[in-house]
Amino acid sequence: MNAVRSKQAGGSVSESQKMHAATGNSPEPALEFWILRFALVGASMAVCYALRPFDLRALPAAGLGFFVAMIVLLAELRLRRAEISGLMGGAIGLVLGLLASLLITLVIARTSGPEATKSFFEFLALISLGFLGLVIGTHHGKELRRVSLPQSAEIADLPPAGQGQMKLLDTSVLIDGRIADICETHFLDGSLGLPRFVLHELQMVADSSDALKRQRGRRGLEVLQRLQKLPGLDLRILDDDVAGVAAVDQKLVELAQRTGSKIVTNDFNLNKVARVQNISVLNINELANALKPAVLPGEPMRVLILREGKEPSQGVAYLDDGTMVVVDGARRLINRTVDILVTSVHQTPAGKMIFGRLEEQRTDSGSVRAATAGAASARPEPSNGGNGHSLRPSRPEPSPASQYPDSDSV
């Protein structure tokens, strides 16, 4: 029971403390305020009793002082509930009203009327304009809270965070699929827009009678569903269409011009056409080429020879990012991992090509020299009259740039 009472007492104390905290008052300041109020009443009555204004006697003069003190206390109780904006507005209005009454009194003082009449109009202007300024300023002072500061106005004009320029997706970039990985890493900001005609073209590819096209179209639809499931990615289906244009690429260019958007594509021709018309293009192939590691001539490298090259003695390998590596003298080493030295690097419109030669050291399947010796022993060489010198003429090494003008020729 004592514990319950103590809890109840503690609860009442906490509630009273909350009430005092909410009102901003505590018992000690309230007592001080009451002492100040009584002091104001006493001082007002004492001043009026001593001065006796309007030729009043002692008691009526003290009563006048008490009446003035009551007016001040009522004004104090009213102003305590007023807002700061209302007080500021009232003060500004009162000052403006008094200034206006001062101008009026200056004009009245220069007239030739009786002094009593001029005094009447002066006091009338002072009281009426001061009262009007106080009331109107207090009423409209609340509008001061809605006045925005210059800094806040400038911040409000800025675009919201995370909302950049819209990017329009092409069919090729959906079929490629790397756009989903790029979006997962948050390298693309803003909104991604998929026009309805691009979605229709992707559906037609997925419904094609050709098995390869049908597979590519379905892959594009799967990538689109993956993009829709990414958290924080704003993917919008746009119903905007371009009338009078049948080609999807031309529609995409016209829509990008009209909306001021960028185009995300892997199409080489669309990339060139859009840039001719000053449209920003985000080409994923160019991004992939820019992110490929730099390879310098003379740098060692280990590759797997997969097929023959264009020249009889060349073998072709590929890096993990798809870069073609042409190795001179590696045709006999197909399906073997060899160590090579980079001789040159060529940048083509379709990507980067690396040319190299076999390094004079052991590979995973044996020594290059041993493999060369084995191949020479299996194929007899003609001799020049038994003197041991080979009759095979030496063949100069062809230039890599003349053999592979671009990666498509390999």
Nearest to 339 by CA among 369, 310, 380, 300: 300
Mean pLDDT of 115-133: 78
pLDDT in tens, 126-171: 777 777 777 787 777 666 655 444 444 343 343 444 445 789 999 9
CATH value of 300-376+400-409 in 2.60.120, 2.40.50, 3.30.70, 2.60.40: 2.40.50
Give the span between the Cα atoms of 197 and 205, in whole angstroms: 12
Mean pLDDT of 305-319: 88
Q: What is the pLDDT of residue 319?
A: 85
pLDDT at 110 over 90: no
Mean pLDDT of 211-228: 91
Q: What is the pLDDT of residue 409?
A: 37
- In 3-state terms, what secondary structure has residue 352? strand
Q: What is the pLDDT of residue 2?
A: 42
Q: Report pTM.
A: 0.42
pLDDT bracket for residue 89 (50, 70, 90): confident
What is the rounded average pLDDT for all residues in the chain?
A: 74
Mean pLDDT of 36-48: 84
Catalogue the E-assigned strands of 256-377.
Answer: 262-265, 281-283, 300-308, 314-318, 324-328, 337-348, 351-358, 362-363, 366-367
Q: What is the pLDDT of residue 374?
A: 41
Q: What is the pLDDT of residue 292?
A: 73
Least confident of 106-120, 244-258, 337-351, 386-400: 386-400
pLDDT bracket for residue 215 (50, 70, 90): very high
CATH number of the domain at 167-290, please? Answer: 3.40.50.1010
DSSP state of 405: S
Task: List the chain domain ranges.
Answer: 23-144, 167-290, 300-376+400-409
Give the span between the Cα atoms of 320 and 52, in whole angstroms: 107
- What share of residues in the chain are helix, strand, coil (percent, to 5)? 55, 15, 30
Task: Decide whether 167-290 matches 300-376+400-409 in CATH topology.
Answer: no
Give the span between the Cα atoms of 43 and 45, in whole angstroms: 6
Q: Which amino acid is at 133?
A: G
pLDDT at 272 over 60: yes
Mean pLDDT of 56-71: 84
pLDDT bracket for residue 399 (50, 70, 90): very low
Q: What is the pLDDT of residue 59?
A: 85
Q: Which carries the bigger pLDDT value, residue 278 or residue 78?
A: 278
- 176 φ/ψ angles, rounded to the nearest 5 degrees: -60, -45
